[in-house]
Structure 1
Amino acid sequence: MTNQNEAVELTEIVFPEHANHYGTLFGGNALMLMSKAAFLCARAFAKSDVVMARCGDAQFLAPVPVGNVLHLRGWISRVGRSSLTVCVSGTAQQLGREPRAVLRSWFEMVAVDGNGRPARIPGAYLHREKEEA
């Protein structure tokens, strides 16, 4: 991932061990998968390790039954000095049917150094203006 317009895409299948007692994707597992997409997207953009600082507005739009294929897409919507916002959306598809929107959330990620402290994101917009001045 080299610029803000690129996205990370993950594909998973919902197995029984990922499901709740209703036979659909357990909400905690859905959050874990979305946070995985956010982590991979942020790490690729920041070119450094990242940690999650916040997750917001998680929406479970429709149940995802066992056997469905879950497609997650994460993209960068905001870049700061050391933090960035990653939006993640998910669609589910049952064999032979059209995909449908099922998940949506955003994640605030922070680039960190080897000591776990916030680190400047190389090429962040805020710093490019200062470097050019």
Structure 2
Amino acid sequence: MFKQIKDSQITISQLMLPSHSNFSGKIHGGFILNLMDQIAFACASKHSGHYCVTASVNKVDFLNPIDVGELVTLKASINYTGRTSMVVGVRVESENIQTGKVKHCNSSYFTMVAKDEDGNNVPVPGIILNTEQSVRRFARSITRQEQAKNRNSKFKPSEFKIEEHLEALNEHNVKIEL
């Protein structure tokens, strides 16, 4: 079974209140991450028809701060489907309500896994790729997965070769005392 991407896309907006801020008047990154996880859950659950859990989050870069009083909009879309997992792309934008200026604040990728009532992984519907952008996002997800596998195996204690890394560390703010 395959589903249209548009059928599970979700957008939410929320006004940023003083209770969401840190001591400098900017919105806590953790609060934004919580909202991102919620919308990723909703999008994945809507697509799969099952309860979903977060397996991983790829690349969380806070590009622009969010101020109290701004309207934050989060957009979630299925970028990739595996057998039991989905990659949900989440975009965060903030808008100054008085000026109308919109800032891109974050884009992240949440890998979500569908579960049955007993907590077992369950198959998810595939997605129909019908735009160049959807093909690009799907292909990018495959590349990100391959990079993660390579990164994980290269730094496994049993595979790690210290001599391959010591010279590169000399260019960083570190003192090595072996």
TM range (shorter): 0.7 to 0.9
Q: 1:100, CA displacement in angstroms? A: 1.3
Question: Is 1:70 paired with 2:72?
Answer: yes
Residue in structure 1 matched with residue 14 of structure 2 by the alignment: 12
Match of 1:106 among 98, 104, 109: 109
Residue in structure 2 matched with residue 3 of structure 1 by the alignment: 4
Q: 1:37, CA displacement in angstroms? A: 1.0
Map 1:15-54 onto structure 2 (within 5 A).
Answer: 15-54=17-56
Q: Which moved more, 1:103-112 or 1:93-102?
A: 93-102
State the distance in 2 between where 1:71 and 1:108 align.
20
3-state SS of the aligned residue for 1:58? coil
Percent sequence identity over aligned pairs: 28
3-state SS of the aligned residue for 2:61? strand
Q: Which amino acid aligns with 1:103?
A: N
Q: Which moved more, 1:97-106 or 1:60-69?
A: 97-106
Of Structure 1 and Structure 2, the greater strand share is in 1
Q: 1:73, CA displacement in angstroms? A: 0.2
Question: Is 1:94 paired with 2:75?
Answer: no
Structure 1 residue ranges, 4+ long, deviating more than 6 angstroms after superposition: none
Q: 1:16, CA displacement in angstroms? A: 0.9
Q: 1:90, CA displacement in angstroms? A: 0.8
Identify unmatched segments of 5+ residues in structure 2: 128-178
Bigger radius of gyration among the two: 2
**Higher RCO, 1 vs 2 (CA within 8 Å, ≥6 residues apart):** 1
Question: Is 1:117 paired with 2:123?
Answer: no
State the distance in 2 between where 1:117 and 1:79 align.
17
Q: Which amino acid aligns with 1:97?
A: G
Q: Any idea what the Cα deviations from partners look like across 1:44-89, whole Å, max 9, x if unmatched? A: 0001110000011011110000000000000011001110000100
